Structure 1
Amino acid sequence: MPLLTLRLMGPVELTGPADLRLTPRGMRARGALAVIGTARSMRITRARLQDLLFSERDPEQGNASLRQVLREIRISLGPHRDALLTGPGWVGLDPAMLRLDMSARPGPDGQIPEFGADLDIPDPEFEDWLRDVRRAAEAHAPTAIESALPDLVLGTPVSTSQDAMVLATMILSEAAGRTADLLPVAIHDADAVPRGPHIQITALASLQGQVFNLSAMLTHRPSGRVMWSQRMTCPLGELGAQMGDFTARCCLAMVQVVDQGRALGAAGGISFADVFSFSADRLARADQVLERLGDSITPAVTLSLRAWIRTTYAFERLTDDPGRAIAEAAELAARARQAAPFHATALAVNSVIEAYLDRDQIAYDLARQAVMADGQNPLARLSLSRALAGIDRLEQSASEAQAGLGQALSSLNPANWHLGIGVAKMRAGDLHAAIHHLEAVHRFAPDNRPALRFLAALRYAVKDQAGARDALRALQRLEPDFSLDLMGSDGYPVDTLRRLGLLQIAKSRLV
């Protein structure tokens, strides 16, 4: 469970165990925490953070000032300084150690405090960012579930020709439909714009000679903030092969923008990142939102995602009763298939549940049906990769996951794809390749527990004791009751390692 809490509604507050105050005193340090905390996966490029905090300073001076801000945050964290993560060109907060609290608690006067109430940083870029976030937070006050729904409004593309307009409409309509297959979002046309906040989808399309051009844009309303825009171009003769990629890129943008809606203050909104996270707090938050939605929008998707969350509880050992979690998942998944018997997402989640129950052939059959229903659905392809591993078609499993990793939509949950490849390689005996992909899982999802279990055992097997110890220590931070004796016990979820004879680490006494 996370040790730290970052509260952003009202004054910025960072607290540790027993409400220990860890908030830095500097205004820009608190502003940096607000920006990082609301960024996707709590990570942001250093260049973007520097631009928000020090846009009026020259680059060299701004870079030095940013280093000082990060140093101040690290000092304020004290014994928890590892919660501040840095990498090549980015900075972030460790979701395994820190929980983001965006709940708005009324003050003594009964009023709801504004986002970052104590932030007053005299930088025009930061002021624009803060104004957008506060405006969206006010617009998304969770007084009713309707105000939290991440609606998408699909406008008619503006085009120089009928043919270009038809092509653009096909791409954007399919992208919106795929988004609705992954998240319970409402899709409206331009004649039925909802009253509340929404994402407007617009596009310009043209045919210039034998080249098709599409410029798509996603804009948050009513703030007017452009959340995403991209220009795509392709020779007309190659468009048949490229349309799938164009659709996937637009779908990816829609899902990511819905996630960014949380950063704009949609505390009750849907987050794909939360649903496919490995944190108990984030999973619980996503489940609460999905439960409130009920049958109001695409019940097959809502029920399937709630089932997926429970499979994560079981796989990740986030519950004391994994059997109950899987039983609840199976019940929700059955209701999803009743709502839509041939829905790719519902079939895929059913497959994952059957795989957990070691009914590998049934899992494979369901995954095949999911892919037949929609071969571009990322959950369908992911479930097929897992199911292939379950019936010992390891090369095909790794190949399927590798192909999925190369698709645009894989960036929604790359950790799952790398985990699939890593497990297949491990079962095939290629330990070094397995380690490579499991390390990628840890980079993308530091709180993924199975990857750390596998990494510790495989590094130990290849004589990398220091690396094995690092993985075990990371596992200890995620599982306070973890011990090597527990890892070697029958109830601990390492059956794959046990069957492969790779559990020698349990007797190593490395930690």
Structure 2
Amino acid sequence: MVNENGLLEIHVLGALNIEAQGRCLTPKGAKNQALLVLLALSSDMTRPRRWIEDKLWSTFGPEQASANLRQALSKIRASLGTYADILVADRASVSLDASRVWVDLHDGEMPLDERSELLQGLDVRDPEFEDWLRAERAELQSKIARFAPQDARGILIHCRAITDSDTGHERLAADVMANRIGEGVSEQVRAWRQSQDDDAPDLTATDIQVDCQLIAEGNGHAVFVKALHKPSARILYSKLTKVGDLSGVLDCDETMGRTIFEATDQIMGKLPQVLDNARPEARATALSRLGMYRMFSFEQDSLREAYGLMKQAHERDNNGVYLAWTSLIRSIQIMERAETNVEALLDEATELQHLAMEQSEGNPLVNAIVAKMRGSIFRDPAGCLELAELAVEANPASAYAWVSLAEANMIAGRPEDALAMSARARSIARTSPFKHWWDTGHCVIAIACNRPAEAIEAGEAAARAAPLSRPAHRHLLALYALEGQLDKAQKVADKMAKIEPGFSLDRLVNDDNYPVRTLRKKGLLEPIRALL
């Protein structure tokens, strides 16, 4: 663009560049640059001060974050020189004068090259900003892809069994394990498994190859699993596991379940990096994966972002699993009291789960998600149990299936059975980036079973995995108070005040709408009064 009107140009496609009339005005410092970007890419170029502080200084206390923001504003104005008055700030918000700013992403032509990257090389090193940037990059890629829409044909997965013996038992075990990994992937993205028979068609179109090699070793066997992106030969996952008895492979015991779930999860995490970005399956997977990160944060704005990302995923690939995730987001918003229009959220969650099951009939992951909702939100014991059992039967390596069965047993009045199933789910999911979800759920069930020590262990594990997770810290606070560890309880209360707007001990103890139903039901909020 040749600027003849004295506009401040902000180029965000590629490396960030801010200029006016041929002069570079890009401020020094990644966070100063990021602040301008946060404003330039907002709908009205205005953001609340607190929102900006949360995105750029999320690990700082409120006072230090405010001081950092004031310092950044001063440095940006100095860099902009005669354009400094474009940046406007008051006690509540910070904005740019939109009438004097041109942004290439909004005002220029949409790039047609799918390799175009938003803010290339900008490294702010704040988890909240990185999450925001991932969402913005995903949205850009979604917009680019919409210019050249394609039909979702499905990812092709070739599952191979390799053994050093011709015995049917060993070959069956290897074949079952390889196919369970392929099935696990196909639950989460549109995919087809390919036959390895001698008369199978040409496999040159294979996207993912899953090899399961089983070798006799002493009194047991060694199982080596390797998954690779066939066109590029990039390895997506590999692991060697020792098994004593092949029945553990066939029955999918806890060890095998953990390996299968881990392989599936890592393949899903890397798929968007290796597939052609123009393919709907690749775009939908990238959007949904980011949506899961946002969803399992349980934070209000993040849940809203997750909802939008899952909706975009479904628009790119009409797969019911994305509707199931969207319904789960709505249920979390209901349980977290994150929104006020609960009835509308319930109605939408109900409709979404029905649509998900229609579009992905028989999908074990969809059954598991819907079962969890029928238990925790709709309090439907029969419906929860039916779908949870179907999910576990179809995929005994799914931590999502086992946690839904734990939910079914809880509402059926079998807490000890629920605890055992939750422990299995937690063990299977121990390498997941979302492991804190299973840890937190196990903490709650342990509380219901009157096992405070086990609940504390699970709660602390959740807090380590997700230091900003509010549900884990809420329950730890009550558990520490119950055990008489008031110093620890107070530290958790202080942290909650930082990570949850509007938190107070009085609200936790006395507000019946605060989301700690199990603690309240068990009378475990009373010990907290010692801190009031």
TM > 0.5 between the two? yes
Match of 1:41 in 2: none
- Structure 1 residue 187 corresponds to structure 2 residue 206: no
8 A contact 2:237–2:266 mirrored in 1: no
Match of 2:519 in 1: 497
Match of 2:486 in 1: 465
User: For residues 405 and 360 of structure 1, what CA distance do their matches in structure 2 show?
Assistant: 23
Match of 2:285 in 1: 269
Displacement of 1:430 in angstroms is 3.1
Match of 2:265 in 1: 255
Displacement of 1:478 in angstroms is 3.7
Match of 2:178 among 172, 178, 187: 172
Match of 2:155 among 151, 170, 173: 151
8 A contact 2:364–2:391 mirrored in 1: yes
User: For residues 462 and 417 of structure 2, what CA distance do their matches in structure 1 show?
Assistant: 20
8 A contact 2:159–2:179 mirrored in 1: no
- Structure 1 residue 441 corresponds to structure 2 residue 462: yes
Residues 457/374 of structure 1: CA separation in 2 closer, same or farther (3 Å cut): same
User: For residues 236 and 213 of structure 2, what CA distance do their matches in structure 1 show?
Assistant: 16
Match of 1:226 in 2: 235
8 A contact 2:261–2:428 mirrored in 1: no
Amino acid at match of 2:236: M
Provide, for residues 82-121 of structure 1, a one-character-per-residue CA deviation record: whole Å limited to 9, x for no partner.
Answer: 59xxxxxxxxxxxxxxxxxxxx95896864644774489x
Match of 2:324 among 297, 300, 304: 304
Match of 2:441 in 1: 420
Bigger drift between 327-336 and 284-293 goes to 284-293
- Structure 1 residue 321 corresponds to structure 2 residue 327: no
Question: SS of the residue aligned with 1:228?
Answer: strand
Residues 343/189 of structure 1: CA separation in 2 closer, same or farther (3 Å cut): closer
8 A contact 2:439–2:461 mirrored in 1: yes
Match of 1:432 in 2: 453
Match of 1:290 among 294, 304, 313: 313
Residues 455/373 of structure 1: CA separation in 2 closer, same or farther (3 Å cut): same
Residues 446/282 of structure 1: CA separation in 2 closer, same or farther (3 Å cut): farther
Alignment of 1:44-123 (within 5 A): 80-82=58-60, 105=105, 111=111, 113-114=116-117, 117-118=120-121
- Structure 1 residue 241 corresponds to structure 2 residue 248: yes
8 A contact 1:206–1:212 mirrored in 2: yes
8 A contact 1:404–1:410 mirrored in 2: no
Match of 2:495 in 1: 474
**Whose RCO is larger (CA < 8 A, sep 6+)?**
1
8 A contact 1:150–1:261 mirrored in 2: no
Residues 204/375 of structure 1: CA separation in 2 closer, same or farther (3 Å cut): closer
Displacement of 1:176 in angstroms is 0.8
Residues 250/105 of structure 1: CA separation in 2 closer, same or farther (3 Å cut): farther
Question: SS of the residue aligned with 2:30?
Answer: coil
8 A contact 1:360–1:391 mirrored in 2: no
Displacement of 1:157 in angstroms is 4.8
Question: SS of the residue aligned with 1:384?
Answer: helix
User: For residues 252 and 8 of structure 1, what CA distance do their matches in structure 2 show?
Assistant: 36
User: For residues 349 and 254 of structure 1, what CA distance do their matches in structure 2 show?
Assistant: 17
Question: SS of the residue aligned with 2:246?
Answer: helix
User: For residues 518 and 193 of structure 2, what CA distance do their matches in structure 1 show?
Assistant: 46
* Identity %, equivalent residues: 21
Residues 387/506 of structure 1: CA separation in 2 closer, same or farther (3 Å cut): same
User: For residues 491 and 166 of structure 1, what CA distance do their matches in structure 2 show?
Assistant: 53
8 A contact 1:287–1:309 mirrored in 2: no
Bigger drift between 396-405 and 144-153 goes to 144-153
Provide, for residues 426-453 of structure 1, a one-character-per-residue CA deviation record: whole Å limited to 9, x for no partner.
Answer: 2233333322211212222334322222
User: For residues 162 and 140 of structure 1, what CA distance do their matches in structure 2 show?
Assistant: 52
8 A contact 1:421–1:434 mirrored in 2: yes
User: For residues 269 and 345 of structure 1, what CA distance do their matches in structure 2 show?
Assistant: 15
Match of 2:411 in 1: 390
Displacement of 1:495 in angstroms is 2.9
Provide, for residues 188-234 of structure 1, a one-character-per-residue CA deviation record: whole Å limited to 9, x for no partner.
Answer: 53857697x94443455556898655543222365443222223455
Question: SS of the residue aligned with 1:328?
Answer: helix
Provide, for residues 307-331 of structure 1, a one-character-per-residue CA deviation record: whole Å limited to 9, x for no partner.
Answer: 2222222223333333332332222
Aligned length: 407
8 A contact 1:200–1:218 mirrored in 2: yes
Question: SS of the residue aligned with 1:406?
Answer: helix
Displacement of 1:358 in angstroms is 5.9
Residues 312/396 of structure 1: CA separation in 2 closer, same or farther (3 Å cut): same
Give the gaps of 5 or more residues in structure 2: 1-10, 18-26, 35-54, 62-103, 124-136, 196-200
Amino acid at match of 1:151: I
User: For residues 334 and 443 of structure 2, what CA distance do their matches in structure 1 show?
Assistant: 20
Residues 269/493 of structure 1: CA separation in 2 closer, same or farther (3 Å cut): same
Question: SS of the residue aligned with 2:515?
Answer: coil
User: For residues 154 and 256 of structure 2, what CA distance do their matches in structure 1 show?
Assistant: 22
